[in-house]
Amino acid sequence: MQLPEPRGPLGEALGHDLATRTTLSAATLECADRVSDLATCALTDEDLQLSLAVCYELHYRGFDGVDDDWEWDPALLRLRAGLERRHLAALRTLVGTVAVTDEPIDRQLAALIAADDGPSLSTYMAKTGTLAQWREYLTVRSVYHLKEADPHTFAVPRLSGRAKAAMVEIQADEYGGGSAERMHSELFAGLMRDLGLDSTYGALWDEAPAAAFASVNTMSLFGLHRRWRGAALGHLAAVEMTSSEPSRRYSAGLRRLGFDERTTVFYDEHVEADAVHEQIASVDMCGSLVADDPELTDDVLFGAACSLAMDGVAAHHLLGAWETGRSALRGARLLAA
Ligand SMILES: [Fe+2]
Ligand SMILES: [Fe+2]
C-alpha cells in the first residue's frame, strides 16, 4: 500500500522521512513532541492517530517505497512510544475506573457489556442506513476488517496453556479454518466490492476518520506489548461477545436494501461463529488467563471496556455526522457517488 496523505505536521514529517531517509530527522522528533503535548483528545486527533497507525503498519504489511528495516528503528519506536502514552492516557480518561468484583471473569465481562450505553449503530444500519451511509460505514470499518484478527494475533506467543489454545481456536476461524476465501478479511473485501468500494488493502485510508484508526491502534497497542496481553484478550472477548446480535442486524440492513446472501455472508458468518466464540473467549480464554494470572483481571476488564468505548466513539462520529446531513468521511467523495 501507499503511504497515506498526511493530516498534519507530524504525518508530513514522518512520511517524508520514511520515504526518503534511513532514520528520523530532528524536525520529525520535534513534531512528535509537540503532538504529544497537545491538549486535544488524542483519540480524535487526525494527525496523531494516522501517524500512530503508520508506525504500527510497519509491523503488518508495510508501505510501498518504505524500507522494511524501519520496523525496528529505535528512533521510530521512541516516537511511537510517545504517541502510545498519549493514546493510553486518553483511553483511561474515556473508560474511567472499571470496577472489579469477585465474580468469574465471564460474568464480569457480561456485566460490563450489559452496562454499556453507547449508541447502537447496528440498529441504525438495520432500519435506516442508506446505501451511501453503508459505503461510509464500510470505509470506516475497512481499516480494521481488511486486517481482521491480525492485531489480536500478536498476543498468541505471549500466552500458554488453555488460554492460548482457546485464542488459537477463535483466531483459526477468523482466518477461515484453512480456506483463504473464508478468511473474515476476505469476506469483508467481497462485501466492499458488492457495494462498489475498492477493497484493496489500505486503499480507503485517506477517506477514514481518526476514530477508525484510534480503534485499530488500540488493538495494535494491546497486541504488540506483552505488558498489555490481558487487555488484548479482554478486548477480543468484548469484540466476540458483542458481535452475534449486531451482525444479524447488519445483515438485515443489507437485505432491506436488496442485497442477498452473497453480500451478507460476512455478517451471517459472524452471527453463527461469534455465538460460539463468545463462550470460548470469555470462559475458556479469559477465564483460563486470570485463573493462571489473577493480577491480569484488571487489564482484561480494561481491554474490554476500551473495545466498547471505542465502538462508541466510532458510532458517535458516524451518527453525529449523518444526523446533520454531513459525510462521516474525509473529503465527502463517497456520499456524492
Ligand atoms: Fe470475524
Ligand atoms: Fe469471532
In the 8-state DSSP scheme, what is residue 247? H
Asked if residues 251 and 268 have their Cβ atoms less than 8 Å apart, the reply is yes
Cα 269 to averaged position of ligand 2 atoms, centre (Å): 9
For residue 332, give every residue at least 6 positions away whose Cβ sits within 8 Å of its Cβ, in sequence order, or none.
326
Question: How many angstroms is it from 98 CA to the middle of ligand 1?
Answer: 26
Specify the length of the chain in residues.
337
DSSP state of 281: I
Query: How far, in Å, is the centroid of ligand 2 from the Cα of 274?
Result: 5
Asked if residue 222 lies in contact with residue 150, where contact means CB atoms within 8 angstroms, the answer is no
Distances (CA, A) of 306 to 142, 246, 251, 299, 330: 19, 18, 25, 10, 24
- Could you list the pLDDT tens digit for every one of the 337 residues in the chain? 999 999 999 999 999 999 999 899 998 998 888 876 665 689 999 999 999 999 999 999 999 999 999 999 999 999 999 999 999 999 999 999 999 999 999 999 999 999 999 899 999 999 999 999 999 999 999 999 999 999 999 999 999 999 999 999 999 999 999 999 999 999 999 999 999 999 999 999 999 999 999 999 999 999 999 999 999 999 999 999 999 999 999 999 999 999 999 999 999 999 999 999 999 999 999 999 999 999 999 999 999 999 999 999 999 999 999 999 999 999 765 444 4
* In the chain, domain spans: 9-95, 105-323
Which ligand is nearest to the Cα of residue 279, counting in written order? 2
pLDDT given for residue 41 in this prediction: 87
Q: Cβ(178)–Cβ(233) under 8 Å?
A: no
What global pTM score does this model have?
0.96
Contact 201, 327 (CB under 8 A): no
CA of 266 to the centre of ligand 2 (A): 11
DSSP 99: P
Q: What share of the chain is helix, strand, coil (3-state, %, to 5)?
A: 75, 0, 25
Q: Which of 80, 224, 215 is nearest to 151 (CA)?
A: 224
Indicate the DSSP class of residue 286: I
Among 215, 241, 252, 244, CA closest to 300? 241
Among the bound ligands, the one closest to the CA of 145:
1
Superfamily of domain 105-323: Heme oxygenase-like (1.20.910.10)
pLDDT value of position 38: 66
Ligand 2 center to residue 240 CA distance, Å? Answer: 5
**Cα-to-centroid distance, 18 and ligand 1 (Å):** 32
